[in-house]
Structure 1
Amino acid sequence: MTGPLDAGDLLGGRYRVLNYHAEGGMQYVYAAIDELTRRKVALKTPKNNSASKRFKRSAIVAARVNHPNVAKTLDYLVEDERRFLIEEFIEGADLAKSLLGQVNFLDPYLCARVFHHVAKGVAAAHHVGVVHRDLKPTNIMIGGGYNLTELKVTDFGVAKLAGDVIDEANAGGEQTLLLSATAVGALPYMAPEAIEAPRTITTKADIWSVGAMIFHLSTGVEPFGTGLLAVNKILAAVPAELPQFVTRNPQFHPLAAQVIDLAKSCMKRNPDERPSADELVRSCGELCYSSSLREVGTVKRVQDHKQWGFIRSDNGDVFFHANCVFGAAGLSAGDKVLFSKHEVGGNAAPRAYPVLKLTK
């Protein structure tokens, strides 16, 4: 077995390949059926020999973590000198594709929910001494799209056990930065100590990465830029200025400010000043965010200098006010939007809040 798998291939005497599903910088991902349990699983296999060195460690480390917000590792096998990692299958896509695929940023309610669940998954890993070291949007899997029916941290390929020293030269990939064959992580989410002293990083490096991701989701801006130019900014630990729209609207300001402040607390230059994952979970649990279902609709019309209007949805027209729209620009007829609907009773149309303009 030397090339990509084909539908119908049987691995380990039990995993039947259904179809190609996706790929990352270093691995192919297939959907398969476990013929023993009849469970659908994700079957991952490295693209090259260098990536193969990650897989056994990934299986050993990830198998220690058992939590609803972490993709569960089910099995590991070697067949015809090729390695395979079996994980639970998540019906959805990674955070970058599923949530940022149609918007440049998320409203504070969605950000708070993502923050809370990611923190729970990271805390579960830290409880068993696992440092992920490569947290980024493509390593967060989302089910249910903007309704977030599932959120799971995945891909522990460059993870380590707290206190372990591993061969950094054999870790990483196209989406993972290696500086002098030592620093491991993904810009723009890498902690300063992951650049300066990667062999001794602790769980606090993961906390930095979580904060950097949430800052990005909240603002549409990578906190320290992208590429190698971000390194000096990361080492200085001074994130980018907030776009005015993030906290300008009084409807969103309280929660947006809390989410941003919490994200910034994760990006303190001194790791000891950052919250622990458990503290982060508790703080996120105190955020007042809604879990209302989201719908997609089209702006039907706007009136009174774009101060209010109606959204056409599959379930009828929904009223919106400009103050309920999160973002810098107003809405126009024909714009596609994401919104939550709230019934107000009587003959009045339901109200939309929050409303987020879709870019695609």
Structure 2
Amino acid sequence: MSGHRFSPGVVLAERYEVKNFLAAGGMQEVYVCFDRTLEREVVVKTPKAGIKDRRFRRGAEMGARVHHHNVAATFDYYEDADLTFLVEEYIVGLDLGRRLETEFVFMDPSLAAHVIHHIANALHEAHSVDICHRDLKPSNVMTSADASINVIKLTDFGIAKLAESEIAAELELFEQDQSTLTTSNTLLGAVPYMAPECWENWKSAGQPMDIWALGCVAFHLLHGTPPFGSGRQAFMNIAKLLSGSPLQLTRPTWFGKHKNTEALENGLWGIIEACIQVSPAARPQAQDVMRMCQQLCYATAGRKIGTITEYPGTYANGNRGDFGRITDDVARRRWFFHLTEFFGQNGPEQGQRVSFSVYPGVPQDRSAPVLRLRR
């Protein structure tokens, strides 16, 4: 625990007992704590040592105004001369950024639509009470660790206001010395999802910046990378847009290969193109994006994790075909799948890890979709 502000067993404000350190960002440290009063686990977020900013309180107040099942609830806020922290709902799982790094190469259309729809719901709720998140990115979306991603919650409304001051300062430094971009964790994390107007005047950017960021996250889910790259590459690509270069977004190469999801792919791409518009005025409002998501037809069946144990499959006459079988991790059952239901940059191979849903079929139940995983 060396270097962390609090050690296990420390009790904050005579109520919150620190259980363990959870994570750290550019502006905060995060701990899992036990709320002795209500007897539940919570998350405590505190500014890193040396950071003191009234925006932390204002941000916490903003977060507490948003009540929705797709937003991590803000429970409490504490401040005295020596200590500042906010208390937030504890979500067991991983943030979306971590899952993209370690689990998903990209997401199939149904899973991507599921995630995008829930984030859009969260933004609509925030925008409806005149709150702009200002730091929407995969690492600020918490998800349950299950294959179906049943729980999706937007977090860090309380930290976004604190990060705002640092990002604004870093943008000023970047204008003077572009090498600062490589040393700023806060700015580096925000850049791939940062709308063009933020580079011109960060403080005046409003809710349309959240819509741009949602489009970039959606692109990332389907492509496996953000639309304009990361770090310096992202900045240079956005700078070209600001100088008048045409906006060019390329569809994933696998779009159109699966006829049963072609309409869904087109619907998702329509949302991405609507959100990623250089002019803030050209972007839809959150309620419009939510309605666009409601028009999508996507599968929500539960998912399993397994391994491809046979591909290609063999017919009774000994001939091989474009089908195979998956063995799931839990029941150790084998499930049939066809090549047309496989989503991956390379074709199915024995030993590949996949997530999949199962539907009744004759003569065998069918797995669809089958999504290749990193591990």
Aligned residue type for 1:180: E
Q: Which residue of 1 is the match for residue 228 of structure 2?
A: 224
Q: 1:242: which partner in 2?
A: 251
Matched ranges for 1:265-280 at <5 A: 265-280=274-289
TM-superposed CA distance for 1:40, in Å, is 1.3
- Specify the SS of the correspondent of 1:13: coil
Please say if residues 100 and 224 of structure 2, whose CA atoms lie closer than 8 Å, have aligned partners that are also in contact: no
2:367 equivalent in structure 1: 352
Q: Which residue of 1 aligns with 2:297?
A: 288
Name the SS of the counterpart of 1:260 in structure 2.
Answer: helix
* Matched residue, 2:354: 337
Report whether the alignment pairs 1:180 with 2:172: yes
AA at the equivalent of 1:330: G
Q: Paired residue for 1:163?
A: none
**Number of aligned positions between the proteins:** 348
Larger CA deviation: 114-123 vs 223-232:
223-232
* Greater shift in the superposed pair: 151-160 or 111-120: 151-160
RMSD across aligned C-alpha pairs, in angstroms?
Answer: 2.4
Distance 1:146 1:263, change over 3 A: farther
Does the 8 A contact of 2:5 with 2:49 survive in 1?
Answer: no
Higher deviation after alignment, 182-191 or 67-76: 182-191
Matched, 1:195 2:199: yes
Render the CA deviation track for 1:214-252: whole Å, top value 9, x for unaligned: 001111121011112322422516244223113333233
TM score, norm. by length of structure 2: 0.86
Q: 1:211, 1:319 → 2: CA distance?
A: 35
CA distance in 1, matches of 2:84, 2:174: 24
SS at match of 1:67: coil
Shifted more, 106-115 versus 55-64: the winner is 55-64
Aligned partner of residue 320 in structure 1, secondary structure = strand
Output the CA distance in 2 between the equivalents of 1:356 and 1:30.
33
- Superposed CA deviations along residues 280-330 of structure 1, whole A, max 9, x for unmatched, are 111101100111111111111112666111111233111011110112311
Q: Identify unmatched segments of 5+ residues in structure 1.
A: 161-165
Q: In the alignment, is the contact (CA less than 8 A) between 1:340 and 1:352 conserved in 2?
A: yes
| Whole-angstrom distance in 2 between the partners of 1:3 and 1:225 | 32
Task: State the SS of the aligned residue for 2:299.
Answer: coil
TM-score (norm 1): 0.89
**Counterparts of 1:127 and 1:43 in 2: how far apart (Å)?**
27
1:193-216 deviation line (CA, Å, top 9, x unaligned): 111122211211100000000001
Question: Contact 1:252 / 1:326 at 8 angstroms: preserved in 2?
Answer: no
Secondary structure, counterpart of 1:25 in structure 2 = coil
Superposition deviation, residue 191 in structure 1: 0.5
* Rounded Cα–Cα distance in structure 1 between residues aligned with 2:356 and 2:281: 39
Distance 1:72 1:297, change over 3 A: same
Residue 56 of structure 2 aligns to a residue whose secondary structure is helix
> Could you report, residue by residue, the CA deviation over 1:168-215 in whole angstroms, capped at 9, with x for unpaired residues?
5x334xxx9931159978111011111112221121110000000000
What is the aligned partner in structure 1 of residue 60 from structure 2?
59
Specify every segment of 5 or more residues in structure 2 that has no aligned partner in the other structure, as ranges.
176-186, 314-319
Superposed CA offset, 1:117-159 (max 9, x none): 0001111111111111110000000014331221111112464
Between 1:77-86 and 1:185-194, the stretch displaced more is 77-86
What is the alpha-carbon distance in structure 2 between the residues aligned to residue 132 and residue 97 of structure 1? 20
The percent of aligned pairs where both chains have the same amino acid is 36
- Per the alignment, residue 316 of structure 2 pairs with none
Q: How many angstroms apart in 2 are the aligned matches of 1:31 and 1:129?
A: 30
* Structure 2 residue 237 is matched with structure 1 residue 233: yes
Q: 311-320 or 131-140, which moves further after superposition?
A: 311-320
